[in-house]
Structure formats: structure tokens, C-alpha cells
């Protein structure tokens, strides 16, 4: 009986000692929170499209009257100034018609003045006077017409530019409105390309009104071109729309219509870098997030966001932030990633 009591006492003592030795040091309490890895996405994405050079302002020039072409005064590729003579019709017949119209007008003017004086003494009737007035006005209109035709016998440059091509030779008979030559402006040039439908609204809405342009003849230089116009109808084969950009012609660069170019268009940014509302803390007009370091310790970091809650500054790619319970967290607190348990 004594042996049994002693053994029981020793057993209790051993168990008590073992219990005291196996006590664990409590770990710091960590709070489970959802975490989010930030993708700032500061780099802009672009897409390049093949393009073609066009004249900035181009026109097909023609005489407004018919006649024999006496001279073409410029060569293809020649620079011209506004008002410069480009071609000339023979003017002999035009001058004769002007002289004839002038003689008729002078006669009508004399008759008009005579009838005006005779009307005062009732020698002529008002009908006669009205007829002489109409004849005078008609003769004046004919004179103006013939003088204009004489001016139209000279083809002049409508603006400073370059003659790109001439299509008539001396001593040919040309008709009114028959194309004689093409002229293009010297200071500006256009660049046209086909834009897919999914990017069209970006330019129409004004989100992008310019693009970067490079030319195959000078690939190491990048130029900025501004939006000029967008076709309203899509290409039936590609379902894309022709977009025309305009830019100043580079100095000392012989860029001609038809030359190849490349247009780089900025693609719309996606949701990259957008912070969900559940990650944001707003205090005193500033915006903060809880950043989590490698040890799970959090710190409040001020960030700058744009109108779409996209990160402008304050965070970099790969930063880890808290994404739940942000209003209840405290500086320096230890957190761990919340993991959804099976069945919950």
C-alpha cells in the first residue's frame, strides 16, 4: 500500500515537471488580412501602323477658259510663290473680245447719257430711257466678263508650294477645267494610315490628338503630327478607318507624296495600377495605403492617384498592400495573409 502511494506521488511529480518544461513562448499576435500586389504599370504601350506621305494642301490647277497653251513656265518639282505665273494661254482673241466689249459699252454709255438728258425735256419716253439703261448695264457686264476671261488666260499659283506634276505641253489646245498641273503646299505635309475600329474612339473623343511619326528615309528621327481628319466610312475589306495627320515639313528633308512612313499610336491604358477602394484610406485630404514588408509589418504610405484611382506616385511595381480592414489597422501592426479555409 505504501509502495503504491509512493509510485503515484512520483508519477504526479514527473508529469508536473514535464508540463512546466513544454510551455511555449507566445508568438506576436498577427492579424489576418487580404493582401494585394500592386502593378503600377507606368510604361505606356504603343502600336505602330504603316502610313504614307501626302501633300499638306494639294490642288489640281486648270484654266477657267479654253484656248491654245502658249507656255508652261515651271518645271515639275519647282518651288513657286503665291501669285506666280505658272502657264499662259494665247491672249490675242481674248484681247480682241475685250476691245469689242469695251466699244459696245462706250456706245451704250453715250446713248444712256443722251437719253437721260432728253428725258428731262420729255423728248424721249421713260421706256426709251429704261431700254438705254438696260443696254448700258448689259454692255458693262459683257465687258467685265471679257476682262475676266483675259485674266483667266493666265494660270497663277494659289499659294506658296511645289509643282508636283504638269500634264500639258506648249501649243496644245486645252479646254476649260482641263487639269494642267498639280501643286502642293511646301510648309505642311499629311501622313495617312488605317486605324482599327477599336482605337477609333480614342482619337474621336480627343483622348489622343497627336501621334509619333517616323519616315523610312530618315528612320532615326521621330516627329510629332497632329490629327487633321478621320474618314466617316470604314474600309470594306479591313473595317478600319483612314486617319490623316498633319505636320510641318522637316527642314532640309526631301519628303514627297507616296513615301512610306510609320505612325506610333498610344494604346489606351487598362486597369493596371488601379487601386480598389477597399485598399484606400483617406485622411485630411490625403490618400494612404497600408504597405506590408517582408516580415508582415505594416506602415502607412501616402500615394497620389489619378481620376481613375491609378497610381501616379508613392508605390512601385510589386509592392504589397493590405486589401481588407484597412480602417482598423495600426502603424507597425503585424499582419498575415488571410487564407480562406475549406468549407468557409
Q: CA 55, CA 172: separation in Å to the nearest integer?
A: 28
Same domain, 284 and 325: yes
Q: In this structure, is residue 262 part of a structural domain?
A: yes
**Residue 38 confidence (pLDDT) above 70:** yes
Q: Which domain holds residue 132?
A: 91-152
Same domain, 230 and 295: no
Closest-CA residue to 157 (of 76, 74, 95): 74
Give the pLDDT confidence score for residue 6 in this predicted structure: 43
Give the pLDDT confidence score for residue 272 in this predicted structure: 57
Closest-CA residue to 232 (of 242, 223, 222): 242
Of 216, 232, 266, which residue is a domain's last? 266
For 65-91, letters b (16+ CB in 10 Å) and e give bebebbebebeeeeebeeeeebbbbeb
Q: Under DSSP, is residue 92 helix (H, G, I), strand (E, B) or coil?
A: helix
For the chain, what is the mean pLDDT? 85
Same domain, 197 and 257: yes
Which range has highest mean pLDDT (27-41, 151-165, 189-203)? 151-165
Same domain, 147 and 107: yes
**Residue 326 confidence (pLDDT) above 80:** yes
Q: In this structure, is residue 182 part of a structural domain?
A: no
Give the pLDDT confidence score for residue 208 in this predicted structure: 65
Number of domains in the chain: 3
Q: In this structure, is residue 64 part of a structural domain?
A: no
Q: CA 41, CA 315: separation in Å to the nearest integer?
A: 11
- Please count the CA atoms within 13 angstroms of the CA of 323 that sit on its side-chain side: 14
Of 105, 131, 152, which residue is a domain's last? 152
Q: In this structure, is residue 344 part of a structural domain?
A: no
Cell of 14: 514527473
The enclosing domain of 254 has a CATH number of 2.40.30.170
**Residue 228 confidence (pLDDT) above 60:** yes
The 10s digit of each residue's pLDDT in 73-91 is 999 889 899 999 999 999 9
Give the pLDDT confidence score for residue 222 in this predicted structure: 93
For 304-316, letters b (16+ CB in 10 Å) and e give ebeeebbbeebbe
Radius of gyration of the chain measured on its C-alpha atoms: 44
Question: What number is the average pLDDT over the span 157-180?
Answer: 91
Same domain, 241 and 197: yes
Q: In this structure, is residue 299 part of a structural domain?
A: yes
Same domain, 142 and 284: no
Same domain, 104 and 146: yes
Q: In this structure, is residue 16 part of a structural domain?
A: no
Same domain, 261 and 206: yes
Going by their DSSP bridges, the two strands 335-337 and 31-33 should be labelled as parallel
Count, in order, helices (H) and strands (E) of the chain: 4, 23
Give the pLDDT confidence score for residue 15 in this predicted structure: 47
**Residue 1 confidence (pLDDT) above 60:** no
Between 118 and 45, the more confident residue is 118
Of 103, 130, 152, which residue is a domain's last? 152
Q: Under DSSP, is residue 8 helix (H, G, I), strand (E, B) or coil?
A: helix
Same domain, 258 and 191: yes
Question: What number is the average pLDDT over the span 288-311?
Answer: 90
Instruction: Kindly give the residue spans of alpha helices, DSSP state H, lying in 71-188.
Output: 92-120, 126-152
Residue located via cell numbers 485630404: 285
Contact status, residue 246 vs residue 56, Cβ threshold 8 Å = yes
- Among left, alpha and beta (phi > 0; psi -120 to 50; other), residue 112 is alpha
The enclosing domain of 129 has a CATH number of 1.10.287.470
Give the pLDDT confidence score for residue 43 in this predicted structure: 54
Contact status, residue 324 vs residue 33, Cβ threshold 8 Å = yes
Q: In this structure, is residue 204 part of a structural domain?
A: yes
Same domain, 288 and 242: no
Cα 341 from chain centre: 53
Portion of the chain with pLDDT greater than 70, in percent: 85
Q: In this structure, is residue 6 part of a structural domain?
A: no
Cα dist from 183 to 55, 57, 209, whole Å: 9, 8, 28
The enclosing domain of 276 has a CATH number of 2.40.420.20
pTM for the model stands at: 0.52
**What are the residues whose beta carbons fall under 8 Å from the beta carbon of 331, sequence distance 6 or more?**
298, 299, 300
Same domain, 249 and 192: yes
Amino acid at each position: 500500500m505504501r509502495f503504491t502511494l509512493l509510485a503515484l506521488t512520483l508519477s504526479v511529480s514527473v508529469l508536473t515537471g514535464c508540463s512546466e518544461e513544454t510551455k511555449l513562448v507566445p508568438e506576436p499576435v498577427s492579424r489576418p488580412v487580404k493582401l494585394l500586389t500592386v502593378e503600377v504599370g507606368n510604361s505606356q504601350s504603343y502600336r505602330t501602323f504603316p502610313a504614307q506621305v501626302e501633300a499638306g494642301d494639294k490642288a489640281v490647277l486648270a484654266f477657267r477658259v479654253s484656248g491654245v497653251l502658249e507656255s508652261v513656265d515651271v518645271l515639275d518639282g519647282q518651288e513657286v510663290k503665291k501669285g506666280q505665273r505658272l502657264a499662259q494661254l494665247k491672249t490675242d482673241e481674248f484681247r480682241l473680245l475685250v476691245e469689242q466689249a469695251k466699244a459696245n459699252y462706250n456706245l451704250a454709255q453715250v446713248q444712256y447719257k443722251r437719253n437721260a438728258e432728253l428725258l428731262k425735256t420729255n423728248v424721249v419716253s421713260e421706256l426709251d430711257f429704261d431700254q438705254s439703261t438696260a443696254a448700258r448695264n448689259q454692255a458693262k457686264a459683257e465687258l467685265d466678263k471679257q476682262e475676266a476671261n483675259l485674266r483667266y488666260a493666265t494660270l497663277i499659283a494659289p499659294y506658296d508650294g511645289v509643282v508636283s506634276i504638269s500634264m500639258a505641253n506648249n501649243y496644245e489646245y486645252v479646254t476649260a477645267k482641263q487639269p494642267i498641273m498639280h501643286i502642293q503646299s511646301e510648309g505642311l505635309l499629311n501622313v495617312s494610315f488605317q486605324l482599327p475600329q477599336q482605337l477609333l474612339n480614342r482619337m474621336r473623343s480627343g483622348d489622343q490628338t497627336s501621334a509619333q511619326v517616323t519616315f523610312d528615309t530618315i528612320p532615326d528621327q521621330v516627329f510629332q503630327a497632329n490629327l487633321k481628319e478621320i474618314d466617316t466610312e470604314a474600309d470594306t475589306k479591313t473595317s478600319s478607318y483612314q486617319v490623316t495627320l498633319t505636320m510641318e515639313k522637316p527642314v532640309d528633308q526631301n519628303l514627297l507624296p507616296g513615301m512610306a512612313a510609320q505612325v506610333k499610336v498610344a494604346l489606351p491604358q487598362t486597369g493596371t495600377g488601379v487601386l480598389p477602394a477597399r485598399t484606400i484610406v483617406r485622411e485630411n485630404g490625403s490618400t494612404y495605403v497600408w504597405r506590408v514588408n517582408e516580415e508582415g509589418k505594416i506602415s502607412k504610405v501616402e500615394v497620389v492617384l489619378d481620376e481613375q484611382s491609378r497610381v501616379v506616385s508613392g508605390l512601385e511595381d510589386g509592392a504589397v498592400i493590405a486589401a481588407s480592414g484597412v480602417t482598423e489597422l495600426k502603424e507597425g501592426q503585424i499582419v498575415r495573409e488571410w487564407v480562406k479555409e475549406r468549407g468557409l
